[in-house]
Amino acid sequence: MRILVVGSGGREHALCWKIAQSPLCDELYCAPGNAGIARVAECIAIKPDAIEKLGDFAEEQEIDLTVVGPERPLIYGIVDHFRSRGLTIYGPTASAARLEGSKAFTNELLHRAGVPGKRFKVFTDPAKAQAYIQREGAPIVVKADGEAAGKGVTVAENVEDAFDAVDRCMVEKAYGVAGERVVVEEYLQGEECSIKVFCDGETIVPMVPSQDYKRVYDGDEGPNTGGMGCYSPVPAVSPELLEEILSDIIYPTVEQMDEDGTPFSGTLYAGIILTEDGPRLLEYNCRFGDPETQVVLPRLESDLVELLLATAEGRLNEVEAKWSDDVAVCVVCASGGYPGSYESGKEITGLKEAQVDERVVVFHAGTRRMGRRCFTDGGRVLGVSALGSDFSDARDRAYSAVAKINFEDMYFRTDIAERAVGR
Tens of pLDDT, residues 285-309: 999 999 999 999 999 999 999 999 9
Per-residue confidence (pLDDT) for residue 181, from 0 to 100: 86
Cα–Cα dist 138/388, whole Å: 41
Per-residue confidence (pLDDT) for residue 84, from 0 to 100: 98
Per-residue confidence (pLDDT) for residue 153, from 0 to 100: 83
pLDDT 10s digit of each residue in the chain, 423 long?
999 999 999 999 999 999 999 999 999 999 999 999 999 999 999 999 999 999 999 999 999 999 999 999 999 999 999 999 999 999 999 999 999 988 788 888 998 999 877 788 889 999 999 999 999 999 999 988 877 666 678 888 999 999 999 999 999 888 888 888 898 988 888 999 999 999 999 999 999 999 999 999 999 999 889 999 999 999 999 999 999 999 999 999 999 999 999 999 999 999 999 999 899 998 899 999 999 999 999 999 999 999 999 999 999 999 999 999 999 999 999 999 999 999 999 999 999 999 999 999 999 999 999 999 999 999 999 999 999 999 999 999 999 999 999 999 999 999 999 989 977
Per-residue confidence (pLDDT) for residue 25, from 0 to 100: 98
Domains of the chain by start residue, with CATH: 2-93 (3.40.50.20), 125-180 (3.30.1490), 191-318 (3.30.470.20), 327-422 (3.90.600.10)
Per-residue confidence (pLDDT) for residue 107, from 0 to 100: 84
The backbone torsions φ and ψ at residue 226, rounded to the nearest 5 degrees and listed phi first, read -75, -5
Per-residue confidence (pLDDT) for residue 345, from 0 to 100: 97
Per-residue confidence (pLDDT) for residue 148, from 0 to 100: 66
Cα–Cα dist 84/73, whole Å: 15
Contact 138, 165 (CB under 8 A): no
- H helix and E strand count, the chain: 15, 24
Contact 321, 207 (CB under 8 A): yes
- Listing from the earlier edge strand, what are the strands of the sheet with 191-200? 204-206, 191-200, 265-275, 278-285
In terms of Cβ atoms closer than 10 Å to its own Cβ (0-12, 13-18, 19+), residue 105 is middle
Per-residue confidence (pLDDT) for residue 144, from 0 to 100: 87
